[in-house]
Amino acid sequence: MNEITARRLTGLAGIATAAALIVEVPLYFLYDGPPPDVNVLARLLIGIVGLAFLVVFVTAFRELVRCVNPAYEWAGSLAHSTGLVYATVTLVSSGLEAGAVIAADHPIDPTITVSGTYILYGSISRLMLALFLTAVGLTVSRTRLLPRWTGRSAYVLAAVNLAFVPSLFFGNTPAHFYAANGWGTTALMGAILSYWLLALGISTYRSAATHGTPAARLAQPQL
């Protein structure tokens, strides 16, 4: 895979991931009580599709790093590995929720009922995302892969995710901001990630026109 193709694929996959997550998150706030099955299954399906695009994104990102600066391939591989772990953990959580909803003979709120997902969506996902974002920030900063704001914002989001790791000590009420399955720990962090991925995806895709060659990359000012 050459650099231009890697940039375009990474960008498109990031945009597709973000689009799915942006559509998914609001579906969690449509109902006060247990939502109908169609709502839960629809948001889970959208999330699963988004995670499939995320797998493509982290794989293409690793290949892009390899094209731009092989010396930092280890950092790209770390971003790839932690991104895959995050996707896997979230897919398992989605499967547990979907199974519980399908098996129940009445509407349930899986964010409360399915206790096995509390720290999968919460503390575990937050830690994996912190590692992923740190690896992305390091890679971008050292390789001049993208504008500087992408690396700096990745570091900031990594720190925010780390701050939510201890949320597992604060109960299991989704209406609470800082709880194992609270809306701040899960929904808010998911929404922030989605818009960050959208901005990163657009920036990466557009960079194919200005960073297609090593000479162009060296001449491009960092913003």
pLDDT higher than threshold 90 for residue 85: yes
What per-residue confidence (pLDDT) applies to 221?
41
What per-residue confidence (pLDDT) applies to 116?
86
Reported as a pLDDT band with limits 50, 70 and 90, residue 212 is low
What per-residue confidence (pLDDT) applies to 46?
96
CB-based contact 13:53 (threshold 8 Å): yes
Q: 131 vs 218, which has greater pLDDT?
A: 131
What per-residue confidence (pLDDT) applies to 216?
46
Q: At what angle do helices 3-24 and 189-210 cross, to 10 degrees?
A: 160
| DSSP assignments along the chain, one per residue | --HHHHHHHHHHHHHHHHHHHHHHGGGGGS-SSSPPHHHHHHHHHHHHHHHHHHHHHHHHHHHHHHHH-GGGHHHHHHHHHHHHHHHHHHHHHHHHHHHHHHH-SS---HHHH-GGGHHIIIIIHHHHHHHHHHHHHHHHHHHT-S-HHHHHHHHHHHHHHHHTGGGGGS-S-TTSSSSTT-TIIIIIHHHHHHHHHHHHHHHHHHHHHHSSSHHHHHHSPP-
